[in-house]
């Protein structure tokens, strides 16, 4: 396959300014229980490729399943680009490389029989449904995906890269009247089936938390000092700030260009935010992105100031910056665009107890149910919350939503915890119709002042 890609890239090199070919082979196992029913059990395989050509500032793109017709589709992509060409695109330069990236797994899911995986997930489902009559439903899901990706371009890059993606969830659901409450255990890894094993104690814990939420009062809406747990910290920094750091979003939006000026001050000198593809085991781990650029750890905020963003070769060339290994595609059906990998707030020095002790009235927000962002504005839901009273974490509350302006909120982070934790789950990041892309996020506990909390 590497020779075929190399031959096509060489042949089309004279017909376009740049050409790249990507071929992907994927196999997947998926399991899903809903209540007592095993409603999904299957395996699937996909094999296909894509070609992207650049001519006079315009791209042509073709995806295909008939890999033996690669050259024909390359000619079609080049013809598309020639029809659209009207200017010039500068791709940031990178070193040509030939490499083969093989997997190094702690525990390979391909070595586990399907019936063993089903039995493991069934066991978790039985724990949930047998925990209490108040547990009315359950969702337990699992998948593993193995990818082999071949990539080559007209600049001499030729790479084959294996990837593994393992993830799942065990959710307990309670319903009482018009109230429905859900708590989850999530797990994910890029190198270890063991992340799915031994979760029984955690599953029982979330069952009890779900039951406790039924009687928890709604939080009273207002402005509070808020402590976010590591899970919510990670989701916040991914959704509210990570997308703003994707260079194609900045390059195409004049307002964001003004807001996201390198050197702008966004927080205290203790605030550091980074995105990395180097964290082994995380779902966002990769050695090369989908343009053949080596991945890296990219600081976005350093000592409170904006210092970087996430680039493809095209955005880096257009903005006079360096590529960061952040051009990613969901599959061979899509061209690569600027995407996150693992986005984190860097660990600080303050223990959780120190954060809490001088808060007279606040909210401790735990986990995330998702949310919405609109440029610099955000709204997130916490899985659950606890009031903070007189320096202590007190009663559980429900329906905790956080909203505000991301730039004001970053400046209102007044303490950063010493307990860095990474969170990967079975979901993924969505952008440009490419969903769900495997990513990770994380951080420590953080303390934020003057956060708008919605509730009762």
Residue 6, pLDDT > 90, answer yes
**Banded model confidence at residue 41, pLDDT cuts 50, 70, 90:** very high
Mean of per-residue pLDDT scores for the chain: 95
pLDDT at 423: 74
- Share of residues in the chain with pLDDT > 70 (%): 100
pLDDT the model gives residue 258: 86
Q: Report percent pLDDT > 90 for the chain.
A: 90
Average pLDDT over residues 388-410: 95
pLDDT tens, residue by residue, 434-452: 999 999 999 999 999 999 9
pLDDT at 369: 87
Q: What is the pLDDT of residue 424?
A: 84
Q: What is the distance between the alpha carbons of residues 357 and 87, in angstroms, rounded to a whole number? A: 60
CATH number corresponding to 2-215: 3.30.2290.10
The answer to whether residues 327 and 338 touch, using CB atoms and an 8 Å cutoff, is yes
User: CA angle, corner 444, sides to 384 and 312, nearest 5?
Assistant: 105
User: Cα–Cα–Cα angle for 217, 396, 208, nearest 5°?
Assistant: 105
> What mean pLDDT do residues 11-39 have?
96
Would the pLDDT of 144 be above 90? Answer: yes
Contact between 275 and 242 under an 8 Å Cβ cutoff? The reply is yes
Is the pLDDT at 123 greater than 80? The verdict is yes
Residue 455: band (very low, low, confident or very high) from pLDDT cuts 50, 70, 90: low
- DSSP secondary structure code for residue 15 in this structure: G
Q: What Rg do the C-alpha atoms of the chain give, in angstroms?
A: 24
For the segment 50-71, what is each residue's pLDDT rounded down to a tens digit? Answer: 999 999 999 999 999 999 999 9
Contacts 24+ apart (CB under 8 A), 6-13: 6/152, 6/158, 7/71, 8/51, 8/70, 8/71, 8/74, 8/152, 9/152, 9/153, 9/154, 10/154, 11/71, 11/74, 12/53, 12/71, 12/74, 12/75, 12/78, 12/154, 13/154
pLDDT greater than 70 at residue 361: yes
Burial class (CB in 10 A: 0-12, 13-18, 19+), 181: buried
CATH 3.30.2290.10 segments of the chain: 2-215
**5-14, 283-292, 420-429: range with lowest mean pLDDT:** 420-429
User: pLDDT at position 5, please?
Assistant: 96
Kindly tell me if the per-residue pLDDT of 456 is higher than 80: no
What does the block give as tokens for 357? Answer: 């002790």
Q: What is the pLDDT of residues 295-343, one digit of tens each?
A: 999 999 999 999 999 999 999 999 999 999 999 999 999 999 999 999 9
Q: Are 406 and 240 in contact (CB under 8 A)?
A: yes
Comparing 20-29, 81-90, 187-196, the range with the smallest average pLDDT is: 81-90
């Amino acid at each position: 396959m590497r020779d075929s890609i190399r031959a096509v890239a060489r042949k089309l090199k004279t017909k376009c300014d740049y050409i790249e070919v990507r071929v992907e082979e994927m196999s997947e196992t998926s399991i899903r229980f809903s209540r007592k029913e095993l409603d999904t059990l299957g395996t699937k395989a996909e094999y296909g490729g894509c070609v992207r050509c650049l001519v006079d500032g315009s791209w042509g793109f073709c995806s295909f399943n008939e890999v033996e017709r690669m050259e024909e589709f390359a000619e079609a992509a080049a013809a598309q680009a020639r029809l659209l060409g009207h200017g010039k695109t500068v791709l940031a330069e990178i070193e040509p490389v030939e490499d083969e990236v093989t997997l190094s797994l702690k525990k390979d899911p391909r070595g586990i029989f399907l019936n063993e995986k089903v039995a493991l997930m069934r066991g978790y489902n039985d724990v949930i449904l047998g925990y209490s009559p108040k547990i009315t439903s359950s969702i337990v899901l699992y998948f593993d995906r193995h990818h082999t990706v071949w990539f080559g371009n007209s600049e001499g890059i030729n790479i084959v890269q294996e990837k593994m993606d393992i993830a799942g969830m065990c959710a307990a659901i309670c319903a009482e009247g018009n109230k429905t409450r859900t708590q989850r255990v999530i797990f994910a890894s890029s190198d270890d089936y063991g992340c799915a094993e031994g979760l029984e104690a955690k599953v029982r814990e979330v069952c009890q938390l779900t039951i406790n939420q039924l009687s928890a009062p709604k939080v009273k809406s207002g402005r509070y000092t808020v402590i976010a747990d590591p899970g919510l910290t990670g989701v916040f920094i991914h959704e509210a700030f990570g997308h703003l750091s994707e260079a194609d979003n900045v390059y195409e939006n004049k307002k964001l260009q003004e807001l996201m000026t390198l050197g702008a001050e966004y927080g205290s000198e203790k605030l550091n935010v980074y995105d990395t593809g180097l964290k082994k085991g995380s779902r966002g781990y990769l050695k090369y992105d989908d343009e053949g650029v080596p991945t890296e750890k990219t600081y976005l905020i350093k000592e409170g100031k904006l210092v970087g963003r996430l680039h493809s070769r095209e955005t880096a060339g257009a903005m006079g910056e360096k590529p960061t290994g952040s051009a990613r595609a969901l599959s061979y059906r899509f061209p690569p665009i600027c995407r996150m990998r693992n986005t984190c707030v860097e660990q600080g020095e303050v223990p959780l107890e120190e954060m809490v002790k001088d808060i007279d009235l606040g909210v401790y927000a735990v986990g995330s149910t998702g949310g919405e962002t609109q440029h610099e504005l955000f709204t997130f839901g916490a899985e659950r919350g606890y009031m903070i009273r007189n320096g202590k974490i007190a009663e559980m509350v429900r329906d905790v939503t956080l909203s505000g302006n991301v730039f004001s909120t970053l400046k209102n982070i007044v303490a950063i915890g010493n307990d860095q934790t990474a969170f990967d789950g079975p979901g993924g990041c969505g952008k440009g119709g490419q969903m769900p892309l495997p990513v990770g996020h994380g951080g420590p506990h953080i303390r934020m002042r003057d956060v708008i909390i919605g509730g009762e």
